[in-house]
Structure 1
Amino acid sequence: LELANSQGTHSDADSSSKRLVLALYDALNSADSHAVANILAADLEWWFHGPPHHQFLMRMLTGDSNDTFRFLPLRIASFGPTVIVEGCDTARAIAWVHAWTVADGIVTQVREYFNTALTVTRIHDSDEILPATSAAGRLPCVWESSVSGRVGKSVPGLVLAI
């Protein structure tokens, strides 16, 4: 598992958020519904991009899964309240990325990407509204998925602005 964060140093909040998300994967993979319920907000916001038959996480969370799919994180990075986790299942030719939002010690949102190359860009840390095109040019890339190439097929790319 490759650990990273936005500054190259681990802040307490970033480390705590990463530990929480990794504990969630452990709970999901061991089918510990009590632990999962303690980690996720009751009104979890879920967003999905990918083939509908790859909605493994939703089926796990709703108890509608007899599948043996396991989320095995290969890389994890955090940027403020957002924790990005990437993994793949080469046997099924599936690459995945999750963008979790952690607030007050629980996960409140997940954006899930299957067989999608994801680029994460960070928007200025203020309430200032930035124009789509500005003198600063393009927004900086802070993270890019790397395992989508392991599944042996071309995948679409998306940009996540955080």
Structure 2
Amino acid sequence: MAQTEINSMLSELASSESQEIVEEEEESSIRVVRALYEALSGGDVEKVQRLLASDIEWWFHGPPSHLYLMRLLTGSVSWDESFVFVPLSFAAFGSTVLVEGCDHNPCVSWVHAWTVADGGMITQLREYFDTSLTVTCFGDPTKPSPSPPSSSIRFPWLWQSQFTKVTGKSVPGLLLAI
């Protein structure tokens, strides 16, 4: 067997193993975030505290009147008075988990982008209100996206929000780069 064939087989094997590792990380991250929403809906304060880093980095984009999650987690409203988060879809890109959802009516759309660190601790939240999200891979999905030279793993780098019929109203567009 020629050295180029051996190198090719080793590269393919490494790429396959790397992709499996990434998929496992994504599945694990989604499980953590799903557990958070279950704890929020059940009023399980202790579980919420175990899942969130004490120094969580929080970024909010939306009207100040929509700081529901911040008010809930800081205790400025009771669990009974709080906004009800209804997650509709989950998508993971490495350690980032994107969740699209609405309130229980459904009147208000939101997007949460969570970062889950090794060990299952949520370390970052980017919160967007009055928008909906559909993950979109730009370009030909059968071709690998450009990636840093040291990586052979394909990630979608851009995703864009789309109007959903859930809220029955127009929402602003959102384009995020991961």
TM-score by length of 2: 0.69
Q: Does 1:99 align with 2:113?
A: yes
SS of corresponding position for 2:171: coil
What stretches of structure 2 of length at least 5 have no aligned partner? Answer: 1-18, 138-144, 151-155
If each structure's strand is expressed as a fraction of its own residues, which one has the higher value? 1
CA deviations 1:10-45 (Å, max 9, x no partner) are: 821111100000000111112211111110111001
Q: Does 1:29 align with 2:41?
A: yes
SS of corresponding position for 1:19: helix
Q: Is the 8 A contact 1:120 1:161 kept in 2?
A: no
Mapping for residues 36-75 of structure 1, pairs under 5 Å? 36-66=48-78, 67-75=81-89
Q: Is the 8 A contact 1:100 1:111 kept in 2?
A: yes
Identity of aligned residues (%): 55
How much does 1:61 deviate? Answer: 0.9
Which stretch shifts more, 59-68 or 88-97?
A: 88-97
TM-score by length of 1: 0.75
Closer, same or farther: CA 56–157 of 1 in aligned 2, 3 Å: same
Q: Is the 8 A contact 2:115 2:122 kept in 1?
A: yes
SS of corresponding position for 1:157: coil
What stretches of structure 1 of length at least 5 have no aligned partner? Answer: 1-6, 129-139
How much does 1:91 deviate? Answer: 2.4
If each structure's helix is expressed as a fraction of its own residues, which one has the higher value? 2
Structure number with larger C-alpha Rg = 2
Which of 1 and 2 has higher RCO (CA within 8 Å, sep 6+)? 1
2:73 and 2:146 map into 1 onto residues whose CA distance is: 34
1:147 and 1:23 map into 2 onto residues whose CA distance is: 27
